[in-house]
Amino acid sequence: MDKDKNSPNIGLVSLGCPKALVDSEVLINKLQQLGYGISPTYANADAVVVNTCGFLDSAKAESLNAIGEALNENGKVIVTGCLGSTPEFILESHPNVMTITGPQKFNEVLDTITEQVPIKSNPFEAKPSPSYVKLTPKHYSYLKISEGCNHKCSFCIIPSLRGSLKSRSMTSIISEARSLVEMGTKELLVISQDTSAYGLDLKYEEVLINGKKLKTNIYNLVSELSSLGAWVRLHYIYPYPHVKKLVPLMNEHTVLPYLDVPFQHAHPDVLKRMARPSSNVHDLEQVSEWRSVNPDLSIRSTFIVGFPGETESEFSFLLDWLEEAKIDRVGCFKYEDVSGARSNLMENQIQDDIKEDRFNRFMRKAQEISKLKLKEKVGKTYSCVIDIVASDRLVCRTIFDAPEIDGLVSVPYNQDIHCVGDRVQVKIISSSEYDLTGELT
Ligand code: SF4
């Protein structure tokens, strides 16, 4: 519904991962459909929703700070999201919040808002909203295909916060993706907690899509998404054996030659202590097999160093593995206790100075690999998307880089032809540790 000028405005503070960002988008759109306005400032808001993150203790502290700031600046605060699963923890610091709900409890948030800051105008007079609000730039969108996770990694509390795997139907995902593409999205970033497990909870049921009977699984979903004309980028892919079927889909460059695989470690004993899914298949053969099908494949991953009990030799194994696997883009975290995680109780917690040393050694190795891999791109021409048009240059991304987390290509530019979201061909002329420079061809 369009907003009546007398309708209340709601502020929203969104913290955490892209999955939480998608929840915030859903909430904003539901509020708009009800006729509420969205306020970018505390001062103009009649109430503020804080969508929290509760993954790491540092994220919890950030969420508590955000709640405190919203209380100081506005006073009417509704807390939702992952940290909302532990209301007593929030109430200890902030007893004056209006209400606390857990992740994806949209109806409870809406109930509180409609009760505490009701719309006074006649809702039947309002008109359907002409636009869907996105929290990402127009040219790319996150597409959440499932919620929750069936695994029980020892360092993670997401399954207890978000429940077991619940896949969305293929029909609903494809219809959302189609609408996003019609509204200008040129890149769909497929996300979930465990993308490769998509459809498992639905027993891979057969559905009718575009006149074809298809099993609900990640391969069919990605194939169908690739026909919409937007780039499709895959995140949070666990290295199950069936992932190799996805790689040939990347040869056409609609499904991008990119896999975000959260390996977390490489040593089998550490993976076992972490209770990682598919801990027996983190082998180099699998990475080589993917690359033999698509030599251009770019692999992003995250790793944890200093996990309880990690010995120097297990850590060295990880460094050697990284060198062999030549992972293109990496993120690294020093192990941190998360309240409620089983790993907190494990013996042989690693001292902070050792964690710091391993983190630095890991990042040095990752930087060397990144530098070499980017150097190999010099002289080649790649399809890129423009993320920013500045006065003297374009800031672009190659097909091998995801927004926000990977590298950029800087292209000198002083014309007035291109816009954000345009795809351009860029010849790479130089490289550094993480970024590239190039020229338009
Ligand atoms: S796979 Fe492991 S780390 Fe990822 S959400 Fe599930 S339990 Fe957490």
In 235-294, beta strands by DSSP E: 255-260
How far does residue 10's CA lie from ligand 1's centre (Å)?
Answer: 32
pLDDT number for residue 132: 63
The reply to whether 252 falls in a domain is: yes
Same domain, yes or no: 276 and 196: yes
Which CATH number goes with the domain that contains 392? 2.40.50.140
Mean pLDDT of 336-365: 93
pLDDT category of residue 119 using cuts at 50, 70 and 90 = low
CATH number at residue 251: 3.80.30.20
Task: Please identify, by atom number, the ligand 1 atom nearest to the C-alpha of residue 150.
Answer: 6
Do residues 213 and 278 both lie within one domain?
Answer: yes
77-81 and 47-52 strand pairing: parallel
Name which of 29-38, 89-98, 129-138, 429-438 the model is least confident about.
Answer: 129-138
Do 173 and 74 share a domain, yes or no? no
Whether the pLDDT of residue 382 is over 50: the answer is yes
User: From the CB of 35, is ligand 1 less than 6 Å away?
Assistant: no
The residue-averaged pLDDT of 363-382 equals: 95
Atom of ligand 1 nearest to the CA of 264: 3
Residue 390, burial from CB neighbour count under 10 angstroms (0-12, 13-18, 19+): exposed
Centroid of ligand 1 to alpha carbon of 98 (angstroms)? 31
Hey, what are 399's tokens? 């097909």
Taking the centre of ligand 1 as the mean of its atom positions, its distance from the CA of residue 55, in whole angstroms, is: 11
Q: Are residues 118 and 224 in the same domain?
A: no
Q: Whose CA is nearest to atom 8 of ligand 1?
A: 156
Q: Is residue 328 domain-shared with residue 245, that is, in the same domain?
A: yes
120 or 292, higher pLDDT:
292
pLDDT confidence band for 281 (50 / 70 / 90): low
Q: What pLDDT is stored for residue 211 in this prediction?
A: 85
Q: Counting atoms of ligand 1 from 1, which one is nearest the CA of 159?
A: 7
Question: Is residue 277 within 6 Å of ligand 1 at its C-beta?
Answer: yes
The residue segments making up the domain with residue 98 are 9-125
Within-domain flag for 3:
no
Tell which of 325, 342, 375 closes a domain.
375
Q: How far is the CA of 439 from the centre of ligand 1 (A)?
A: 41
Number of domains within the chain: 3
- 369 and 392 housed in the same domain: no
DSSP 433: S
Give Cα 171 distance to the centre of its chain: 22
Q: How close is the Cα of 158 to the center of ligand 1, in Å?
A: 6
**Which pLDDT does position 122 carry in this prediction?**
35
- Using most ligand atoms within 8 A of CB, pick from 147, 152, 153 the residue to mutate for ligand 1: 153
Q: What is the dihedral of CA 288, 291, 297, 298, to 10 degrees?
A: 10
Average pLDDT, the chain: 88
Q: Please report which confidence band the pLDDT of residue 166 belongs to, taking 50, 70 and 90 as the band edges.
A: very high
The alpha carbon of 2 and the centre of ligand 1 are apart by a number of angstroms equal to 40
Same domain, residue pair 112 and 44? yes
2 belongs to a structural domain: no
77: CATH: 3.40.50.12160
Based on the domain organization, do 227 and 368 belong to the same domain? yes
- In sequence order, the 6+-apart residues with CB closer than 8 A to the CB of 340 are 157, 160
Ligand 1 center from residue 156 Cα (angstroms): 6
User: Is residue 71 domain-shared with residue 98, that is, in the same domain?
Assistant: yes
Cα dihedral 133, 72, 15, 186, rounded to 10, equals 20
Instruction: pLDDT band for 162, please (50, 70, 90 cuts).
Output: confident
CB-ligand 1 contact for 67 (6 Å cutoff): no
pLDDT at 120: 57
The candidate with the shortest Cα–Cα distance to 221, out of 207, 203, 238, is: 207
pLDDT of residue 331: 93
Q: Is 194 in the pocket of ligand 1 (CB under 6 A)?
A: yes
Higher pLDDT, 303 or 20: 303
* pLDDT value of residue 354: 97
111 and 157 part of one domain: no
Determine the residue type at 338: V
Q: Give residue 31 CA to ligand 1 midpoint distance, Å.
A: 31
What span, in angstroms and rounded, lies between the C-alpha atoms of 88 and 90? 5
Asked if residue 130 is part of any domain, the answer here is no
Q: What is the pLDDT of residues 69-105, one digit of tens each?
A: 999 999 999 999 888 888 888 888 998 888 888 887 7
Model pLDDT, residue 280? 59
Residue at which a domain ends, from 351, 375, 399: 375
Which of 176-198 are b and which e, b meaning 16 or more Cβ less than 10 Å from the residue's Cβ?
A: bbbebbeeebbbbbbbbbbbbbb
333 occurs within a structural domain: yes
Give CA–CA dist 235/404, Å, rounded. Answer: 13
User: 402 CB less than 6 Å from ligand 1?
Assistant: no
Ligand 1 pocket residue status of 156, Cβ below 6 Å: yes
- 163: its two tokens: 């429940």
Residue 236 sits in the same domain as residue 335: yes
Q: Is residue 340 part of a domain?
A: yes
282-287-291 Cα angle (round to 5): 170
C-alpha 6 – ligand 1 centre gap (Å): 44
Residue 134 counted as domain residue = no
Res 273: pLDDT: 95
Atom of ligand 1 nearest to the CA of 277: 1
* pLDDT score recorded for residue 6: 62
For residues 133-156, give the mean pLDDT. 89
Q: Is the pLDDT of residue 128 over 50?
A: no
DSSP codes joined into one string, 28-42: HHHHHHHT-EEESSS
Residues 326 and 411 in one domain: no
The proportion of the chain whose per-residue pLDDT surpasses 90, expressed as a percent, equals: 60
The kind and range of the H/E element at 302 are: strand 298-305
Is residue 166 in a domain? Answer: yes
